[in-house]
Amino acid sequence: MRTSFHSLVYLALGLWLGALVFFATVVAPIAFSQLPPLFPTPAAGIHAAGLIVGGSLVRLHWMGLVCGLIFLAVSVLARAHFRTIIPQGVLVLVMMLLTAYSQFSIIPRMDTAARSSIVSTNDQYTWKV
């Protein structure tokens, strides 16, 4: 039973942290380096990359919050099997709070900024850069 609790805790943290590393080292750099040349204007390509990265970030945040809840729930339910859960629990709680702040405060402001940068001119869309 102890092994399954540890496995679940490490799976939740590994999934969350692995996804963060993958996003920062693969998704965002490739989106912003490979997409702009595929569009007629660099601004349109940067906007498309921003849409991909923004959408990925939203899903990454939700995944992180779920993984954090799994970690905390398993840690509390199996606290007899863990020597000390307070330091790890506090760190995961801080990670969840920062993730929630980003999801519910920073991302909406990014969306507002993205919407305000689109200007309609003669039925064509151009992006301010």
The whole-angstrom separation of Cα 119 and Cα 49 is: 18
Residue 25: pLDDT over 90 = yes
Q: What per-residue confidence (pLDDT) applies to 81?
A: 65
Task: Judge contact between 20 and 78, C-beta under 8 A.
Answer: no
Burial profile 18-46: b = 16 or more Cβ within 10 angstroms, e = fewer: ebeeebeeebbeebbeebbeeeeeeebbb
76-113 pLDDT, tens digit per residue, is 888 766 667 778 888 999 999 999 999 999 999 988 88
**Residue at 128 is within a domain:** no
Task: Judge contact between 46 and 129, C-beta under 8 A.
Answer: yes
pTM of the predicted model, to two decimals? 0.81
**Residue at 82 is within a domain:** yes
CA-nearest of 109, 91, 111, 101 to 16 is 91
**Residue at 125 is within a domain:** no
The whole-angstrom separation of Cα 87 and Cα 12 is: 17
**Residue at 124 is within a domain:** no
Among residues of the chain, what percentage have pLDDT more than 70? Answer: 86
Residue 120: pLDDT over 50 = no
Which amino acid appears at position 120 of this protein? Answer: S
Q: What per-residue confidence (pLDDT) applies to 126?
A: 53
Q: C-alpha angle 70/72/77, rounded to 5°?
A: 95
Range of the domain at 102: 2-117
**Residue at 122 is within a domain:** no
Provide the domain count of the chain: 1
**Residue at 62 is within a domain:** yes
CA-nearest of 54, 129, 42, 61 to 101 is 61
